[in-house]
Structure 1
């Protein structure tokens, strides 16, 4: 987390620093749970595209409240890049499009399957909404493919989605696997962002379905908005979650939080494990150059 003035004005960024979350995105999962109670009875969870780990932090805190024996809680975090360790979280540095990754997850659960799979992954956005939406939809379907390998019947799947013209097709495909599918926008998600989250409950794959990593469901061509007609046409349920009294993510608030008399910058709870500026700092130290 940097120290730019924009970040300082972001109330959820500052609350994340105050409460020890690795990123402001932790509040998105917390608000989704407030609305849908997705953590109820969950002991085994998978966090796909987990870095930097804020959603894994939320899972660790919330799932331990479901049992008196914390050893029963198993959380697996998967990401292509390395992530600073978290107590109680098993990390797998792997590709979510590989069957071997799914097998590793099931191995960590000792042959059992997950109660909950979450994915907050997103591509590097270009600003071209059509391209960003398409790439994000492919990432979501990759997450769905691995989810069909590791999620138990009746389980829950939560993933980021970019709202756009293909959202109806995505919704229809998710409905093939889940009894209830809703698109939700947490209050901590900026209104200016096209992101939202699909909350897929009660996993029930089609009869005879064999999980596969080969064929993504989404068609590889663009089509007109609301291209589904007749009985196939669906209206995607959309829900804004988060208490209306909560902070507005698009509003700038005073740097002084409640109870503070002066603003004081706090270092991150955990520094980056391999920041891009590390090499430069080492060079400046060896050359006895003081950075400005």
Structure 2
């Protein structure tokens, strides 16, 4: 979590530090769970694009509250290294590579996951069409792994950017899950395109055996189950796309949740203290620049 002036006034940012969360995004998963009871009966979880680990923290704290879940297993996967979290096995790996799937299944001892989630997002460019496309591809990459590791009836949650073509993604997910819902947690800023797709009741396609292959695009991976582009026939006709609209739900108790776009001032009689980050970045993108600066080798181009 950064220290911009807006962040300092953001109540969720401050509460995340006070409660020991690595990022304010922890409240998003907490509010999604409050609405959909995602953790109920869950014993095996895969957290994709997990760094810095706030969602893994939530999973660890909430799932292991139940004494019957002492044998639960949580696997967090990210290309970036992550600092350890209690009850969480971290893998620094590519979610699209078959070896990553093998490692997860080994940790689960051959069992399937009850819940797969992804809070991953690309570095936004400000070009909304491009950002939405890249995010959709990231979701499909997470979905690839989910179809290979998720048990029948399991749940899948991922961050999305809502755009004009989002109904196509809803339709694709609707072929794999009984229920698809677009949810906006109260802790997610209203000014952001960000929402979360909540997919409940995984239903594997009959006769389809998904296998990860790094040489296949996401479209080619899903082609056999027909959630790619409409098939073009020899007479140049094609099947019309079936478009669906997922219901939109605002998550979080409206009576107690704070407005993520509002700023809140501290009470006058409250001592003002600056809280350090819960967990410093393990591999920040500016790490190389800091090393060069220490050595006096950082060149400033004017």
TM-score (norm 2): 0.85
Is contact 1:140–1:159 with CA below 8 Å preserved after alignment? Answer: yes
Partner of 1:16: 16
Partner of 1:114: 113
Partner of 2:60: 60
Per mean C-alpha deviation after superposition, the further-off stretch among 20-29 and 95-104 is 95-104
Task: Confirm whether residue 33 of structure 1 aligns to residue 39 of structure 2.
Answer: no
Q: Give structure 2 stretches of 5+ with no counterpart.
A: 220-226, 231-238, 297-302
Task: Confirm whether residue 86 of structure 1 aligns to residue 85 of structure 2.
Answer: yes
> Equivalents in 1 of 2:280, 2:167: separation in Å?
40
Task: Confirm whether residue 100 of structure 1 aligns to residue 99 of structure 2.
Answer: yes
Listed one character per residue, the Cα deviations across residues 46-84 of structure 1 (whole Å, up to 9, x for unaligned) are 0000000000000000111233452x0110000011111
Q: Secondary structure at the match of 1:65?
A: coil
Alignment of 1:1-292 (within 5 A): 1-68=1-68, 70=70, 72-213=71-212, 214-217=216-219, 232-245=242-255, 246-256=257-267, 261-275=270-284
Is contact 1:74–1:109 with CA below 8 Å preserved after alignment? Answer: yes
Q: 1:130 to 1:255 in 2, by over 3 A?
A: same
Partner of 1:225: none
Q: 1:282 to 1:99 in 2, by over 3 A?
A: closer
> Equivalents in 2 of 1:284, 1:229: separation in Å?
57
Q: Give structure 1 stretches of 5+ with no counterpart.
A: 222-227, 288-292
Q: 1:164 to 1:200 in 2, by over 3 A?
A: same
Is contact 1:8–1:255 with CA below 8 Å preserved after alignment? Answer: no
> Equivalents in 2 of 1:244, 1:229: separation in Å?
40
RMSD of aligned Cα (Å): 2.4
Is contact 1:40–1:66 with CA below 8 Å preserved after alignment? Answer: no
> Equivalents in 2 of 1:85, 1:134: separation in Å?
32
Deviation at 1:220? 7.8
Is contact 1:43–1:66 with CA below 8 Å preserved after alignment? Answer: no
Listed one character per residue, the Cα deviations across residues 205-239 of structure 1 (whole Å, up to 9, x for unaligned) are 21111113334247689xxxxxx979x34222111
> Equivalents in 2 of 1:285, 1:113: separation in Å?
47
TM-score (norm 1): 0.88
Is contact 2:43–2:69 with CA below 8 Å preserved after alignment? Answer: no
Is contact 2:112–2:149 with CA below 8 Å preserved after alignment? Answer: yes
Q: Secondary structure at the match of 2:65?
A: helix
Q: 1:204 to 1:278 in 2, by over 3 A?
A: closer
Deviation at 1:282? 6.9
